[in-house]
Amino acid sequence: MSAITGWWAALPDLVRSIVVSTSIIVVVTVVVILSVAYLTLWERKLIGWMQYRKGPNRVRIFGFLPGMGQPFADVIKLLIKEVVIPSRSNKVLFRIAPAIALIPAFATWAVMPIAPGFAIADVDAGLLYILSLTSVGVYGVILAGWASNSKYAFLGAMRSAAQMVAYEIAMGFALVGVLMASGSLNLGTIVERQAGSVLTWNLLWLFPLFVVYFISGVAETNRAPFDVAEGESEIVAGFHVEYSGIAFALFFLAEYANMILIAALTAVFFLGGWLSPFQGIPVIGDTFLGQPHTLWLVIKTFLFLCMVLWLRATFPRYRYDQIMRLGWKILIPVTIVWIVVEGLMVYYKIGPWSA
């Protein structure tokens, strides 16, 4: 043991920091990928129950828990399928488009306040970093649509581009409200400023912004009812119609990673991230239940994910012009009005700003 610690201490600082941060990154990435795998299963199970079906129930792990092996069976199937590259497509862009969709979805986790006082990179401009990276993800979709040399894929890409630009503005404005409430761009500080009790979370005081953020988050991830970029009833499968095998799986992975990200970010911005909902309540708040913990973040994220799945099971797809109307004419005005209201509350010291 001492030999290992001595050998470790002898390494240069740069190497040590690289080893430590790389292993943290690997752990977080693996956890996110596994969550994605089981989110796909949970989606099919949950929607199955909502529709009086059983959902996947055949593939088992070690002979028990029906359905638990489904994600791995799917991955293996996709891995061994042939990736067909269409003739007369743009070969290079066709190949890198899935990667461009995937990288921002994972890179954003760098600034996520995972546990009290911990993030992979505790940067001061974390909120800006998240906004800019989520806006880069659209390139994967646009490039996939264009490089495929297919009309359906191209239509999907065009729809996605317009939708992303519209909803990014609403999202940004909603986050301006969060920024005003916490006075910081650091995500850890944003969580800490919500400490106290459930009533001091941003959820109550910024409720309209919370709704706008969640809706635009669902729209940004191209989930139902905003999935016109895929729109299988009109344009087959939209931007990824020409992708097969593991190339398709990468788009799938990116979409679900983005879903988890949006759910976690909603929890961080509006529901106090890793803060306990029992904090500040007499008796129960003083026990271990009142302590901040990563598990609270996990629970809140899970609740939002279930809500996204519920939306998919409930609503029919929006028509394209209705999506544009909702984004530009409803969500953006709501955020602007509430930012003004919030400004007045801050100025006259109402609510959590009274101190």
Partner 1 sequence: MFVQLLFYTFSLVLLATAAGVILLRNPVHSALCLVLTFFTSAAIWLLIEAEFLAIVLVLVYVGAVMVLFLFVVMMLDIDIEELRAGFTRYAWIGGITALVLVLEIVGVVATRGLSPTIELKAGIPPSDPTLSNTAELGAVLYTKYVYPFELAAMLLLVAIIAAIVLTMRHRQGLKVQDVAKQVATRREDRVRVLKVEAERRE
- C-beta of residue 214 within 8 angstroms of C-beta of residue 206: no
Minimum separation from the CB atom of position 327 to partner 1 (A): 14
**Non-local CB neighbours of 4 within 8 Å, separated by 6+ positions:** none
Phi, psi of 67 (to 5 degrees): 95, -20
Residue 141 Cβ, how far from partner 1 at the closest point, in Å?
10
Minimum Å distance from CB 252 to partner 1? Answer: 22
Kindly tell me which of 57 and 135 has the beta carbon lying closer to partner 1.
135
Please state, in angstroms and rounded to a whole number, the distance separating the CA atoms of residues 234 and 214: 26
CA distance 278 to 189: 20
Q: How far is the CB of 151 from partner 1 (least distance, A)?
A: 12
Nearest Cα neighbor of 83 from 249, 250, 245, 253 is: 245
Spatial separation of the C-alpha atoms in residues 276 and 300, rounded to whole Å = 10
Between residues 171 and 212, which has the closer beta carbon with respect to partner 1? 171
Q: Are 228 and 162 in contact (CB under 8 A)?
A: no
Pick 185 or 265: Cβ nearer partner 1: 185
Minimum distance from residue 122 beta carbon to partner 1 (Å): 12
128/341 with CB nearer partner 1: 128
Closest separation in Å from C-beta 309 to partner 1: 27
Helix (H, G, I), strand (E, B) or coil at 89: coil
Nearest residue (CB) to partner 1, 31 versus 125 = 125
Tally Cβ neighbours within 10 Å of residue 309: 21
Q: Summarize as ranges the residues that interact with partner 1 (CB under 8 A).
A: 14, 93, 123-125, 128-129, 131-133, 135-136, 138-139, 142-143, 146, 154, 157-158, 161-162, 164-165, 168, 185, 321, 325
Q: Which is nearer to partner 1, 76 or 125 (CB)?
A: 125
DSSP string, 248-280: HHHHHHHHHHHHHHHHHHHHHHHS-TT--TTTT
Q: Which tokens belong to 323?
A: 């999506």
Nearest-approach distance from CB 142 to partner 1, in angstroms = 6
Distances (CA, A) of 79 to 85, 149, 345: 15, 24, 54
Tokens of 12: 């240069």
Separation between Cα atoms, residue 350 and residue 337, nearest integer Å: 17
Task: Pick the closer one to partner 1 by CB: 191 or 326.
Answer: 326
Looking at the Cβ atoms of 73 and 125, the one nearer to partner 1 is 125
CA–CA separation, 130 and 111 (whole Å): 8
Q: Least Å distance between CB 84 and partner 1?
A: 22
